[in-house]
Chain A
Amino acid sequence: AYPLSGAAKEEDSNRDLAQQYLEKYYNLEKDVKQFRRKDSNLIVKKIQGMQKFLGLEVTGKLDTDTLEVMRKPRCGVPDVGH
Protein backbone atom coordinates (compact mmCIF):
# COMPACT_ATOMS: atom_id res chain seq x y z
CA ALA A 1 0.00 0.00 0.00
CA TYR A 2 1.26 3.50 -0.64
CA PRO A 3 2.56 5.16 2.52
CA LEU A 4 -0.07 7.63 3.62
CA SER A 5 0.92 11.27 2.99
CA GLY A 6 0.94 13.53 6.06
CA ALA A 7 -2.38 15.08 5.05
CA ALA A 8 -4.00 11.71 4.54
CA LYS A 9 -2.70 10.50 7.92
CA GLU A 10 -4.04 13.59 9.61
CA GLU A 11 -7.38 13.18 7.89
CA ASP A 12 -7.51 9.61 9.11
CA SER A 13 -6.78 10.60 12.71
CA ASN A 14 -9.40 13.35 12.52
CA ARG A 15 -11.92 10.82 11.31
CA ASP A 16 -11.00 8.46 14.15
CA LEU A 17 -11.38 11.28 16.65
CA ALA A 18 -14.76 12.21 15.24
CA GLN A 19 -15.93 8.61 15.14
CA GLN A 20 -15.04 8.01 18.79
CA TYR A 21 -16.61 11.33 19.79
CA LEU A 22 -19.88 10.66 17.99
CA GLU A 23 -20.02 7.09 19.30
CA LYS A 24 -19.34 8.25 22.86
CA TYR A 25 -21.49 11.37 23.04
CA TYR A 26 -23.94 11.25 20.13
CA ASN A 27 -25.20 7.71 20.10
CA LEU A 28 -23.49 6.72 16.83
CA GLU A 29 -23.55 2.97 16.36
CA LYS A 30 -20.07 1.45 16.49
CA ASP A 31 -19.70 0.55 12.83
CA VAL A 32 -16.35 1.31 11.25
CA LYS A 33 -17.44 0.85 7.66
CA GLN A 34 -19.99 3.63 7.60
CA PHE A 35 -17.40 6.09 8.79
CA ARG A 36 -15.08 5.26 5.96
CA ARG A 37 -17.70 6.47 3.50
CA LYS A 38 -17.13 10.15 4.25
CA ASP A 39 -20.24 11.17 2.47
CA SER A 40 -22.38 8.75 4.47
CA ASN A 41 -25.58 10.66 5.11
CA LEU A 42 -25.85 9.36 8.65
CA ILE A 43 -22.39 10.65 9.54
CA VAL A 44 -23.11 14.07 8.10
CA LYS A 45 -26.34 14.20 10.11
CA LYS A 46 -24.53 13.19 13.31
CA ILE A 47 -21.86 15.81 12.75
CA GLN A 48 -24.53 18.43 12.10
CA GLY A 49 -26.37 17.39 15.30
CA MET A 50 -23.19 17.77 17.36
CA GLN A 51 -22.33 21.12 15.77
CA LYS A 52 -25.83 22.41 16.50
CA PHE A 53 -25.80 21.26 20.13
CA LEU A 54 -22.38 22.69 20.87
CA GLY A 55 -23.16 26.02 19.25
CA LEU A 56 -20.88 25.58 16.21
CA GLU A 57 -21.60 26.53 12.59
CA VAL A 58 -23.57 23.60 11.17
CA THR A 59 -21.48 22.50 8.18
CA GLY A 60 -21.71 18.71 8.44
CA LYS A 61 -17.94 18.69 7.86
CA LEU A 62 -14.98 18.06 10.19
CA ASP A 63 -13.83 21.67 9.91
CA THR A 64 -11.16 23.19 12.15
CA ASP A 65 -13.56 24.62 14.74
CA THR A 66 -15.36 21.31 15.06
CA LEU A 67 -12.14 19.34 15.45
CA GLU A 68 -10.90 21.85 18.02
CA VAL A 69 -14.05 21.55 20.10
CA MET A 70 -13.87 17.75 19.99
CA ARG A 71 -10.41 17.96 21.55
CA LYS A 72 -11.58 20.12 24.46
CA PRO A 73 -12.01 18.68 27.97
CA ARG A 74 -15.64 17.93 28.73
CA CYS A 75 -18.06 15.93 30.83
CA GLY A 76 -18.15 12.21 30.07
CA VAL A 77 -21.96 12.05 30.03
CA PRO A 78 -23.35 11.83 26.47
CA ASP A 79 -25.10 14.83 24.88
CA VAL A 80 -27.79 12.63 23.38
CA GLY A 81 -29.94 10.42 25.57
CA HIS A 82 -29.36 6.64 25.42
Chain B
Amino acid sequence: RKSTLNPNAKEFNPRSFAQPK
Protein backbone atom coordinates (compact mmCIF):
# COMPACT_ATOMS: atom_id res chain seq x y z
CA ARG B 1 0.00 0.00 0.00
CA LYS B 2 2.64 2.54 -0.89
CA SER B 3 0.87 4.16 -3.79
CA THR B 4 -1.19 7.25 -3.08
CA LEU B 5 -2.53 7.39 -6.61
CA ASN B 6 -6.26 7.17 -6.99
CA PRO B 7 -7.56 5.06 -9.88
CA ASN B 8 -10.91 6.83 -9.63
CA ALA B 9 -9.40 10.23 -10.35
CA LYS B 10 -11.17 12.36 -12.92
CA GLU B 11 -9.75 12.09 -16.39
CA PHE B 12 -7.85 15.12 -17.62
CA ASN B 13 -8.97 16.75 -20.84
CA PRO B 14 -6.21 18.67 -22.56
CA ARG B 15 -7.17 22.02 -24.00
CA SER B 16 -4.22 22.73 -26.17
CA PHE B 17 -2.52 19.45 -26.84
CA ALA B 18 -1.53 19.06 -30.47
CA GLN B 19 -0.06 15.90 -31.91
CA PRO B 20 3.68 16.34 -32.42
CA LYS B 21 4.70 16.24 -36.06
- Pairing of A with B: no
A interface residues with partner B (beta carbon < 8 Å):
none
Chain B residues near A (Cβ < 8 Å): none
